A and B are shown apart, each in its own frame.
Chain A
Amino acid sequence: MYTALILFILAGSIICLGGIYYKRSIVLGILVPGAMLLIIIAFLSTAVLPYMEKIPATDKGVPYSERALLGRQIYVREGCWYCHTQQVRPIRTDAGLGNVSQPGDYQYDYPHVLGTERTGPDLSHLGGKYEDDWHRNHLMNPRPKTPEEEGMAGKVKGSVMPPFSYLSREETEALVTYLQSLR
């Protein structure tokens, strides 16, 4: 794999130098495919090579139940993943959030919901942390769970999570099942 990587980098360098030294439009026919080749080379190295790696199975990477899958779709649809991550990194910042995420954990996650922002807490190991009812109420309106508090300079507000009161009963139930299945 590393040989392939090095060969790819060499090929890229040659195209790159060609591009720098020839600047007349005559060579367009050669250089435009060359530019295309550059992106394909990098694609092969950074997207296809990793795909060849075997992913060891883990306890977390198990299929979801029918209802949890439905809940997962709602999770994706409502954009919960813009505010919540589902990845625990092996660094001090994430210490105490639960087991570090392994590639195998995501075997049945498609589309992935790793997330890019922690406006809300990480949900990788949420299952079992609260009762189902807690989730129902929290989704209906997150504010009562985190009421305003008296701070040093007056009242301090709580959660910024949006209310999901518009979800139908089944949708909420499915979502809660999904949340509880995250172990």
Chain B
Amino acid sequence: MGLLSLLSGLCRWNNNDEENSAARSFILSSVLWLAFVVSLALILATKFVWPDFLGGTAWLSFGRLRPLHVNGALFGWLSMSSTGIMLYILPRLTGVRLYSERLGNLTCLLWNLLLIGASITLPLGYTQGREYAEFILPLDYLFMSILALLGYNVFKTVARMKDKAMYVSLWYFLGSLVWMPFTYMVGNNFLMDTTGLGGRGPVPGVNDAMLNWWYGHNIIGMWFSTLGLGIFYYFLPVLTKNPLYSHRLSLIGFWTLAFFYVWNGQHHLIYGPGPDWLEDVAITFSVLMLIPVFAVVYNFFKTAQGSWHLMFDNSPEHLPVRFFMIGGLAYFLTCTQGPFQALKAVNSNLHLSYWVVAHAHLAFLATFSFISMASIYYVLPRLLNTSINLRLAHWHFWLLCLGLIIFLGILHTAGIVQGAMWLVKLEEYDFVTGSALFKPAVEFIDIVRLLHPFYFTLWLGAGLMATGVMLFVVNVLLTFYKADSPGGRLRSKGA
């Protein structure tokens, strides 16, 4: 019943010209997708412990649900929540209304259709078979139109702005919207559909891998990071209640990121079959990434100085702060980890291991999902003119954090263990040629056996995280429900 009324509410909002209604639709949809992908994640984690769990069914098999978890989390939850928050922030930074709320709502509707499409096609096995680019061609076109509509809306809004200094968040938003369509187009092999193809393609396999990782890397850097950092910079002074430490530094961060990030793609294929010079270029730029990263991190620490106690403040007003601060700290961790694992000596041990999965969740979950959650907790009471359930929010925080510590800890350790086990070799000297032959000293299956306790711990962590996240989703839905019920009132004007 609740769900039905929510859906009808969503439809109502989708044809709505009310101020902030687009932001609201996006946030509501993103949260629903979050619940969906986290349930999938739990299935995946369960399958590592009990591989036969739901095993005999084609559309529930690991290889078909994994892309749905990844794409759903990235394009459903993270992209939609970031977009919603961006649409909330835009009028506040430009001083003008969003160009068209109706267009924003339409975009949201199309975006939901895209994900529904993906939720059907991916489990049925329709995939382009390249990581982060699994959506089939029709969905790619749909996504491109969505990006075009969104970009049009945002640029029209910014164009109406009176001449003012551009706050760095605006740069990040505009940048994302300029870069993302190009990145997406390259990565998804427009005009050269890979569905159902095999063998000789328009580009050789090595180049296909390079393009795939050029895209896989840049979608992270030129879309998720930039949207997330735009939001981060808006809420940094708002939540810490201090003025931004340095605008110049924030701009240095933005433009160096714009410059350096795109060169990094090949660090996903270090020692792979691609050209060596490209790997060296990618590694160099990965280390250079420390400049934009520390521009952000230094600004964060300097601005947050003196406000850390707000993290431990239990009043509703400061609820978002703890999520936000954890997000900032996790950004610092991820982005020091990144250049480190791009170094050849390190990468040769950690590449292909669970360390990378840990890095991915440290970045997407602990950093950007936390920033999104903080923003949603900040934005919702203002958009809906109600309050958030504080107790649920605190449970959400602690369960998620505890789960994350277990999950990330065990994945990082598992990665190190895997790397170490792969490294153990038996040496055989060939006395005729004088060269040494190396053979793996540990059978692969014995490494799998060794990992079972890790998988189980991972499953426990995943369970805690999923519970925490579900509490978040329930909390947000309850807030919407409260605002929509006769007792509450949806204000027509946003705060």
Contacts and interface: CB of A to CB of B under 8 A. Distances in A.
B455 interface: yes
Contact of A46 (B171, B200, B214, B445): B214
18 contacts: A20-B251, A23-B165, A24-B164, A46-B265, A47-B214, A78-B63, A95-B425, A103-B274, A109-B199, A110-B194, A110-B199, A111-B201, A116-B268, A118-B418, A158-B445, A160-B47, A162-B52, A164-B61
Contacts of A42: 262-263
A36 B175 CA distance: 8
A76 interface: yes
B247 interface: yes
A47 B352 contact: no
A47 B61 contact: no
Given A20-B248, A36-B182, A40-B182, A162 B47 contact: yes
Given A89-B348, A91-B348, A113-B129, 15 more contacts: A28-B158, A35-B178, A45-B281, A47-B265, A73-B197, A79-B61, A85-B352, A95-B425, A101-B272, A106-B204, A106-B205, A114-B269, A163-B52, A165-B55, A166-B61
Contacts of B204: 55, 103, 106-107, 109-110
Interface string B115-140: 00000000001011111000000000
Nearest to A95: B438
Contacts of B425: 92, 95-96
A134 to B, nearest CB: 14
A20 to B, nearest CB: 5
3 closest cross-chain pairs (CB), A and B? A79-B63, A110-B201, A106-B205
A7 interface: no
Contacts of A79: 61-64, 66-67, 127
B452 interface: yes
B271 A162 contact: no
A156 B52 CA distance: 16
Contacts of A19: 171, 251, 254-255, 258
A143 B52 contact: yes
A36 to B, nearest CB: 5
A182 interface: no
B269 to A, nearest CB: 7
Contacts of B348: 89, 91-93
B205 A107 contact: yes
A20 B51 CA distance: 52
B419 interface: yes
A130 interface: no
B56 interface: yes
Given A92-B425, A93-B419, A76 B52 contact: no
Interface residues of A, number: 88
B423 A160 contact: no
B197 A111 contact: yes
Contacts of B10: none
Range for the number of chain B residues in contact with chain A = 35 or more
A107 B200 CA distance: 7
A114 B272 contact: yes
A165 B52 CA distance: 11
A13 B174 CA distance: 20
Contacts of B452: 156-157
A79 B63 CA distance: 4
Interface in B443-493: 444-445, 448-449, 451-452, 455
Contacts of B274: 50, 103
Contacts of B164: 24-25
B2 interface: no
A164 B408 CA distance: 30
A125 interface: no
A72 B56 contact: no
A39 interface: yes
Contacts of B263: 42, 45-46
Contacts of A115: 352
Contacts of A93: 348-349, 419, 422-423
A43 B163 contact: no
Contacts of B451: 160
Interface string A76-109: 1111111101010111111111000111011111
Interface string B174-204: 1100110011001000000010111111111
